[in-house]
């Protein structure tokens, strides 16, 4: 955003946007997704920049009532960027409406990739659930608190930083994030920590053995002992990797996989295959 532009939006307005953004999914609908919650979050800025311009306000509301969807935790970044563009539009005599819409639509995909990576598919959610669940399973109720802290501290930081920094940088926000290498660094750390935690949980909490054995004369060879000599906890690791493969590559639903594991476990136990 140009430094020479007369800025009307201040930090107080952006804080209002920040707090409103937590309600962005409260009016979720299947046709246009987050559009109404997005408008509710952006309203303090729109009222400020189109204070005496009914035509400009009407045009802005019509623009933003269209389809909109992005990762909720990262949406304030988009709102901050669009806030800067709406301010520019108001000062240009409403000549940038199509640009605002195009930038907003163009940001949904890239920003959702960042948001999903950090908070859902492989980031803070996985780490938070893994650590919190492990502590709760060990009888430590602080695991629930730790879960909320691990997920929500970065969540709040990203929301606040996103809306304030997004407004300051305007449409240059994405280029700044990519060129600085910040996204790659955070993603790499999240991957490493997440995989480490999941690996430890697999070894500690997934239990699977086999009582199968082979008899040669007076000698009895137990299959479990052989497997342990090759790789300790080979069966739990194999079961975990198989479940991961079925979910990621074969699109198995978690509910289906849970039922399948229960059925296979029961049948295998009855037949003496699993211990």
The per-residue pLDDT for range 142-157, each reduced to its tens digit, is 999 999 999 999 999 9
Task: Compute how many other C-beta atoms are within 10 angstroms of the C-beta atom of residue 85.
Answer: 21
Statement to judge: residues 54 and 188 lie in one domain: yes
d(CA 116, CA 216): 55
Number of domains in the chain: 2
Statement to judge: residues 40 and 75 lie in one domain: yes
Statement to judge: residues 196 and 213 lie in one domain: no
Pick the range with the lowest mean pLDDT from 9-18, 66-75, 86-95, 109-118: 109-118
Q: Can you read off the two tokens belonging to residue 10?
A: 């201040």
**4 inside domain:** no
Residues 46 and 57: beta-carbon distance below 8 Å: yes
> Angle 75-91/54-64 helices, nearest 10 degrees?
150
Statement to judge: residues 263 and 152 lie in one domain: no
pLDDT at 2: 46
Domain of 223, in residue numbers: 209-271
Residue finishing a domain among 200, 234, 257: 200
Q: Which helix (H) or strand (E) holds 255?
A: helix 254-271
**176 inside domain:** yes
Statement to judge: residues 98 and 192 lie in one domain: yes
The answer for residues whose C-beta is within 8 angstroms of residue 148's C-beta and 6 or more apart is 128, 132
Angle at 161 between CA 156 and CA 166, to 5 degrees: 135
Statement to judge: residues 173 and 238 lie in one domain: no
What is the reported pTM?
A: 0.64
Give strand pairing partners of 220.
215
**3 inside domain:** no
User: Residue 187's pLDDT band (boundaries 50, 70, 90)?
Assistant: low
How confident is the model over 210-233, as pLDDT tens digits? 999 888 777 888 999 889 899 888
| Helices and strands in the chain, H and E counts | 12, 2
Statement to judge: residues 169 and 241 lie in one domain: no
How far from chain centre, in Å, is Cα 80?
A: 19
User: Residue 5's pLDDT band (boundaries 50, 70, 90)?
Assistant: low
Residue finishing a domain among 180, 200, 220: 200
CA 274 → CA 31, 215, 246, 268, 271, distances in Å?
A: 48, 18, 21, 5, 8
């Amino acid at each position: 955003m140009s430094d020479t532009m007369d800025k009307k939006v201040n930090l107080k307005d952006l804080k209002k946007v920040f707090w409103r953004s937590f309600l962005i999914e409260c009016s979720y609908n299947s046709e246009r997704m987050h559009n109404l919650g997005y408008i509710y979050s952006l309203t303090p800025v729109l009222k400020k920049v189109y204070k005496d311009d009914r035509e400009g306000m009407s045009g802005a509301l019509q623009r933003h009532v269209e389809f909109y969807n992005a990762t909720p935790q990262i949406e304030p970044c988009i709102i901050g960027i669009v806030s800067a563009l709406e301010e520019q539009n108001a000062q240009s005599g409403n000549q940038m409406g199509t640009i605002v819409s195009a930038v907003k639509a163009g940001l949904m995909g890239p920003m959702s990739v960042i948001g999903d990576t950090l908070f859902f598919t492989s980031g803070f959610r996985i780490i938070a659930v893994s650590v919190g669940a492990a502590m709760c399973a060990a009888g430590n109720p602080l695991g629930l608190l730790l879960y909320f802290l691990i997920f929500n501290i970065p969540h709040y930081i990203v929301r606040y930083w996103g809306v304030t920094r997004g407004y300051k940088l305007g449409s240059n926000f994405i280029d700044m994030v990519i060129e600085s290498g910040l996204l790659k660094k955070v993603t790499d750390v999240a991957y490493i920590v997440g995989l480490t935690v999941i690996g430890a949980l697999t070894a500690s909490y997934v239990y699977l053995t086999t009582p199968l054995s082979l008899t040669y004369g007076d000698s009895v060879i137990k299959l479990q002992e052989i497997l342990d000599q090759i790789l300790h906890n080979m069966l739990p690791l194999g079961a975990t990797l198989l479940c991961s493969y079925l979910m990621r590559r074969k699109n198995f639903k978690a509910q289906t996989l849970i039922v399948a594991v229960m059925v296979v476990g029961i049948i295998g136990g009855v037949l003496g295959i699993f211990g």
